Structure 1
């Protein structure tokens, strides 16, 4: 270990390297200081001291530098050589998730006037409802912005004061302060069912009626997590939309929604496009996002996730459902390349978020005939256990293999329907951020899986690289997935990369 005088002599680029590493991994100084405390609280730098190190005003002790090196999985000597890094290591600005866009040429065909005529015609011919189209627009908006909506975050923080966890009494106090009144019901009035087009597959958990009435299903008294979420959504509706005249209905069970935000509300659907559909869907999204931000405020929740390695059962500590906890991960994590699925058997994706651009494993608007059964989220549908399932997957995207990691859990909704929640990340940007060859690693891992019939133990050298990245990301289930066989997956069986194709042999049947 180098002594302090040696560090002084060899610290020319130390501060710059630490700063660049921190920014490359999208960590704030508070994040890095917290990570260091987890490694060694006695030697960890404070935020202010870390700032001075990065600006070259202070040189860390040998013990402190060892802690920082452990966080970034680097050798201490790497920080002390006299050569700056050749590779630019600040993150690329403007990187976004979601599917790739397309050039709209000739531009005159995509004028507002032509689109306003063509879109309703297109939807009527494809059978997509105005509500579904609204969900697709919102999902694309979410994915493009990678769940970054600071105005909604701030609105929730002003109401909840960044308290976490918020108790049921805290939420009821907020409801009372807003002048809203609570009513309980056992059976939904028929008029509400008829107006909303609600089927028997749904359980209406709550609804709001202007100007200040919230109606709650008595079933929620024994489901506190869902009760808190419904109250948070209605608080969001009140704060963001000024208790307007829209009746907001919350439901549990299978729904027709396709937006990440629209996993618990419903409205009538029609084959025509109504401008109100877009407005109502957007307001549902805003209220749902607000609810998550109120129950899991960004900074406290991010710090809690960091302390517990992004374990899914963190929801119990916050007093929210697993769904809320997993969806909020995609919004508060310093790593932005996330996806989230909520899947019902036999293959209905009720909620989707793809901030990392991962292709859809199944259709939202239609069933596909050749779905790949090797996706963890769908394999979990057929399993009987309720534990978690970590998996490393290789998927071809734009004809190049990508490495993904995910964690899936099986849960039941209030209507008694089993479904699977899945949170996952694209590992390739994290691999590249550490100066490693992500494309080469993915190709080598794919080759190993192909040679072994579609799945393979991760080769030692690749496992070492992935473990280092997992520790930097501080996501425990990525490390667990590395210890299991990696699996080849595909978006459709007809493009199965396995040899022989598992679709041809009947292994990927629906």
Structure 2
């Protein structure tokens, strides 16, 4: 009895470890139960009992735990609470996307009742608004699904009939057919100072007035791609939600998508209505992209044009819509996308390949690493696109990324950088290469040369082959440029020696 009570007190991570081990070994609960029965039928768990163990509803006896441990060739003590490794208790899906996951264990501390109490307190103490938290939840959901929302795709295809170059007149006709009326207002861009103290321009492009009025800014007549996007968003609200909860005010400029333009008062309260509204806005925005760039025709067009960003001109959409849709329609799933107005100032972000944010935590790091393409082009705008091969440690593994960045001036007059990129490691491994070894070689070369280096010819050849297989032309342009070592930090660099030190003796490589 004493031994059983001791086991219960040390079993908070047990169910999670069993579940994660089972899944990482590609076993169903039926498989695991059968293996246990073959080892020891007297103490083997049934499928239903195994399910309760994994959910933390039951604790196995010492004898049953020994049987489960033998299946996985572990010590029974490994399943207990003493110094659990994070990888052992974090689900595979818990680390997908750009937001690092954590195990919600011990489970009794992460019950719905406790979270309902703790989350609002956390927001209040950290200065995160309810709107920001809602957007974070949505982005985590989007990245975990790697932008796969077939219901939204079908809804857009049904209304747009998969037509690839919808005109303003086409969208106006769709809106009117749905009973929406279009009106115009006139408002020039306004000077603002955002929450980071950055002076910039802001332009309200459109808003919706219940029950059926769309108001469009006269300025948008000179920017048809943005006009089409706004119309598509409101069509999406009507199709998906029958105009319910459509309070959207669409704007261009430094006002973050995290902020509710219709209700500018900052609130740190977690309001269920705000989360629902944020989700509906996301769905309508995703719908708009699917309506303007239907999946199959747009993928075929990208394939014919090697995923060049300039394809947006053939579709009659903005570069941002085209780049965001690339992350959705490409058969290669490991994409990221940044839409940046400044350091720490994102209008949009997607990290389906798990890349960290370029500036890490701006509360503690205010001098982000300037090797990132997005920062170089914010500081030194270029008239043409820029492709870059980058080396970045994610966890303890060096990874090779390639991105294409583009400088723009938005209709409000602000400088802006769009960046779409991919993680090349999965593609290298898929072709039988050793991505880790290749990344380490490039990383060492960059460190020896102060943070950037020409790509060795052998690696150039391998990456060129990869670019042709993936059919992404800007990878080939990135290969001829120097590779750059990047990190989510700045000039206070933790590497010893720092990659900013250009001494030829810099040959030591340490993890970030």
Instruction: Report the equivalent of 2:280.
Output: 283
Partners of 1:211 and 1:245 within 8 A in 2: no
2:165 pairs with 1:168: no
What is the Cα deviation at residue 452 of structure 1?
A: 1.7
Write the deviation string for residues 76-100 of structure 1: whole angstroms up to 9, x where unpaired.
xxxxxxxxxxxxxxxx999943333
Unaligned 5+ segments in structure 1 are 1-91, 189-198, 506-510
Matched residues, number:
401
Q: Which runs of 4+ in 1 moved over 2 A?
A: 92-100, 199-202, 262-269, 363-370, 493-505
TM-score (norm 1): 0.75
The 1:245/1:119 distance shift into structure 2, 3 A limit, reads closer
What is the Cα deviation at residue 264 of structure 1?
A: 9.6
Partners of 1:249 and 1:266 within 8 A in 2: no
Instruction: Report the equivalent of 1:327.
Output: 324
2:409 pairs with 1:412: yes
Distance in 2 of aligned mates of 1:263 and 1:379: 30
More deviation in 138-147 or 202-211?
202-211
Kindly report which structure 2 residues correspond to 1:47-86, keeping only aligned pairs within 5 A, or say none: none
Partner secondary structure for residue 216 of structure 1: strand
Distance in 1 of aligned mates of 2:470 and 2:93: 20
Kindly report which structure 2 residues correspond to 1:356-367, keeping only aligned pairs within 5 A, or say none: 356-363=353-360, 366=363
Partners of 2:341 and 2:416 within 8 A in 1: yes
Rg (Cα) greater in structure: 2
Write the deviation string for residues 327-347 of structure 1: whole angstroms up to 9, x where unpaired.
000010000000000111244
Distance in 2 of aligned mates of 1:153 and 1:280: 20
2:453 pairs with 1:456: yes
Instruction: Report the equivalent of 2:140.
Output: 140
What is the Cα deviation at residue 497 of structure 1?
A: 4.0
Write the deviation string for residues 74-130 of structure 1: whole angstroms up to 9, x where unpaired.
xxxxxxxxxxxxxxxxxx999943333211111011001100000000000000000
Instruction: Report the equivalent of 1:247.
Output: 247
Partner secondary structure for residue 205 of structure 1: strand
Distance in 1 of aligned mates of 2:294 and 2:146: 17
The 1:420/1:173 distance shift into structure 2, 3 A limit, reads same
- Computed over aligned residues only, the root mean square deviation of the Cα atoms, in angstroms, reads 2.4
Instruction: Report the equivalent of 2:302.
Output: 305
Instruction: Report the equivalent of 2:98.
Output: 98
The 1:451/1:304 distance shift into structure 2, 3 A limit, reads same
Instruction: Report the equivalent of 1:294.
Output: 291
Instruction: Report the equivalent of 1:210.
Output: 210
Instruction: Report the equivalent of 2:463.
Output: 466
Write the deviation string for residues 281-326 of structure 1: whole angstroms up to 9, x where unpaired.
1111000000000000000000000000111111110000010000
Unaligned 5+ segments in structure 2 are 1-91, 189-198, 504-512
Partners of 1:97 and 1:356 within 8 A in 2: yes
The 1:294/1:236 distance shift into structure 2, 3 A limit, reads same
Partners of 1:453 and 1:499 within 8 A in 2: no
Instruction: Report the equivalent of 1:353.
Output: 350
Instruction: Report the equivalent of 1:20.
Output: none
What is the Cα deviation at residue 382 of structure 1?
A: 1.1
TM-score (norm 2): 0.74
Q: 1:502 aligns with which of 500, 503, 509?
A: 500
Write the deviation string for residues 230-267 of structure 1: whole angstroms up to 9, x where unpaired.
00000001101101243221111112235xxx999986
The 1:340/1:503 distance shift into structure 2, 3 A limit, reads farther
Distance in 2 of aligned mates of 1:264 and 1:125: 23
2:440 pairs with 1:443: yes
Write the deviation string for residues 168-198 of structure 1: whole angstroms up to 9, x where unpaired.
111111011101100001149xxxxxxxxxx
